[in-house]
Chains A and B, each alone.
Chain A
Amino acid sequence: MGLDWAWLPQLAHGLKITMELTAACMAMGAALGIVLALLRVYARGPFLPLFWLASAYVQFFRGTPLLVQLMIIHFGLPSVGIRFTPFLSGLIAMGLNTAAYQAEYFRGAIQAVKAGQMLAARSLGMTRVAAIRHVVLPQALRLALPPWSNELIYMLKYSTIVYMIGVMDLMGVARTIAARNFRFLELFSLAAVIYLGIVLLLTFALRWVERRIRVPGLGSAGRG
């Protein structure tokens, strides 16, 4: 039993991959998730097919396991000529998946903004798009931050599955070293501690952001 300092540079590199993967998939998920949420809330009339499309997307990606989605993208798609690096496959699978979940958080938040807000914006002569952009979304995004923070931490931990397609993330590095020297307990425990450290750090950082953008009368803090 004992730790070997020589592992650290490798683990650090794995951690970097993990963080890049998580950050990129969360950004992709947020961009796509907001669009999906807007379509699910506002696409009606001639745009109804877009509502169906967005709903089907969310249903599909929430209704099937992320691991299956990852396998389809990395091992399935090459048979129709679409090939990605392991990192890219991981990013695409995780990004598409978290987008579906984020879409639901954003949708809930958009619907939690009181109808009178849109009415007041329109009564000033704002277009629907301007009202969404300047009135509804700024409120909805604040309301969505707490569930979004949970999703970020969830995706950080869930990113460990990409070692299965050969990505050398923190988990992949730990496993590779351990497979060489059989010190599974030390390496996986070390990985666990590092994940925990990052999760705690993120938790504090997100709480800080939440406090920074908090507005009296909006969100969990209630009135006052």
Chain B
Amino acid sequence: MGQLLVVEGVCKRYGAEEVLCGVSFSLEKGETKVIIGPSGTGKSTLLRCINRLTEPDRGRVWLEGMEVTAPHANINKIRSQIGFVFQDFNLFTHLTALDNVRLGLLKVKKMGRKEATERAQAELARVGLAGKADAYPAQLSGGQQQRVSIARALAMDPKLILFDEPTSALDPELIGEVLGVMVKLAHEGMTMLVVTHEMGFARSVADEIVFMERGVIVEQGPPEKLFRAPAHPRTAEFLRKISELYGEAA
């Protein structure tokens, strides 16, 4: 089976600092891959290099065999097929929940108003927020905002969704509702690449876990293996630290 996403040798440097050095991995259709690693390791940079919100210095990315990093690739078209969920939601402040979900449909997909509205309402219902269509982001809790932002990504019919620490900005009691939506998506067969510190989610949902440190992939493998018998001492040390910080992990 062909890979949905292939990342090959991606490098990115900011000034003297090499943030990513030769990161390669791939994602099958329907797969959920979780990226873990210490802060400042380049996880966000990696996600942004995939849809070129950040231009990688070197390396190539393919989505369903189409090269994202090709010089003349239609990057806007490609981005519309890759959902991106941000740590701090980035909902459009001036738009209601419904309009947030609808904007991409209207302005990128050029969908008709009626169809876009119906689709947006369906996506809000899918994340459990049918009743909040008319609320502005500032009137929603963090968990609700993040669910709207997932609905916004889903509405575009993405081939893949990138999640950049989707629950890190949330109060602990709101994390569950967002993870719940993500678990549901994984089970429905959505292809997801998730940066997170939520080890419970990684353990139960991820097909594979990637441990990154200082811009390189140290180790990757299925969660049972990585959690039980990490091949690399750095991985073991990180997992120990994370379990101290976030409680449950073992």
Contacts and interface: CB of A to CB of B under 8 A. Distances in A.
Interface of A: 114, 116-117, 119-127, 130, 134-135, 138-139, 142, 215-218, 223-224
Given A120-B86, A224-B138, A218 B53 contact: no
Contacts of B81: 125
A130 B138 contact: no
Given A124-B79, A138-B94, A139-B94, A217 B104 contact: no
8 contacts: A116-B86, A120-B86, A120-B92, A122-B79, A127-B76, A135-B94, A138-B94, A217-B136
B138 A217 contact: yes
Contact of A116 (B51, B90, B94): B90
Contacts, number: 78
A117 B152 CA distance: 13
Nearest to A130: B107
B73 interface: no
B131 to A, nearest CB: 17
B80 A125 contact: yes
Contact of A125 (B88, B137, B156): B156
Contacts of B93: 114, 117, 139, 215, 217-218
A124 B94 contact: no
B53 A122 contact: yes
B99 to A, nearest CB: 10
Given A125-B108, A126-B108, A120 B136 contact: no
Given A116-B86, A116-B88, A217-B136, A124 B103 contact: yes
Interface of B: 51, 53, 76-84, 86, 88, 90-94, 103-104, 107-108, 136-139, 149, 152, 156
A78 to B, nearest CB: 47
A138 B93 CA distance: 10
Given A120-B86, A123-B53, A124-B80, 20 more contacts: A114-B93, A117-B93, A119-B90, A120-B84, A120-B90, A120-B91, A122-B79, A123-B82, A123-B84, A124-B103, A124-B108, A124-B156, A125-B81, A125-B108, A126-B107, A127-B76, A130-B107, A217-B93, A217-B137, A224-B139
Contacts of A120: 84, 86, 90-92, 149
A207 B28 CA distance: 55
> What 3 A-B pairs are tightest by C-beta distance, nearest first?
A217-B138, A125-B80, A116-B90
A114 B93 CA distance: 10
B138 A135 contact: no
Contacts of B80: 124-125
Nearest to A124: B104
B217 to A, nearest CB: 24
A124 B108 CA distance: 7
A117 B76 contact: no
A223 B137 CA distance: 10
